[in-house]
Amino acid sequence: MSPASYQVPAPLGKILSRLPAYPGSVLFAAGLNLALARHLPADTLRLLDGRKLRIQVRDAGVAFDFIWRDGSFSAARHGDDIALTISASAHDFFLVAQRKEDPDTLFFSRRLVMEGDTELGLLVKNTLDAIDLSVFSPGNFLAAHLPGRAARAGKSSNMVD
């Protein structure tokens, strides 16, 4: 099976689609706060403020609704007032996150779909494209999230000569 055709197996997608949406959105928002929020520019956060976004993983049958409000991402209940929905397969999201696939290529091949506020979609895409991926390396991540000595130990243990 080629990477472009990889899909979450249908039986697993069927099970995942039956899970309640809100707990997944809570975990997703917590992950965004932990890994991403500190790297987003203040002007972007101002434009995101109060706007409900949805990430929909089509083949897994799940969607995560979240909002930037009061200085952090938080889960939002599923509803119709979504400003922007970004949907793709789990594998395509994974490829975009690793920068092994360009979101524009996926968009024009209809593997990534944006619905709603187009301007907001471009803001999100361009903001994520501008983030230096090295901030997500294990050493840098530990240094940013662990206090003092533990952070230094984590950072030094991930160095390769």
pLDDT of 112 higher than 60:
yes
Per-residue CA distances from 158 to 111, 128, 131, 151 (Å): 35, 25, 21, 11
Q: Which helix (H) or strand (E) holds 104?
A: helix 103-108
CB-based contact 38:144 (threshold 8 Å)? yes
Pull the structure tokens for residue 33: 């706060």
Question: Phi/psi at 63 (nearest 5 deg)?
Answer: -145, 145
Query: Given this model, what pLDDT does residue 161 score?
Result: 39
pLDDT of 93 higher than 60:
yes
88-106 mean pLDDT: 92
Q: Which helix (H) or strand (E) holds 135?
A: none
Query: Given this model, what pLDDT does residue 65 score?
Result: 97
Query: pLDDT confidence of 146, banded at 50, 70, 90?
Result: low
Domains recognised in the chain with CATH numbers: 3-130 (3.30.1050.10), 132-161 (no CATH)
Counting other chains too, the contacts that 68-74 makes at CB distance below 8 Å and 24 or more residues apart are 72/29, 72/33, 72/37, 73/29, 73/30, 73/32, 73/33, 73/37, 74/29
Pull the structure tokens for residue 82: 């979504």
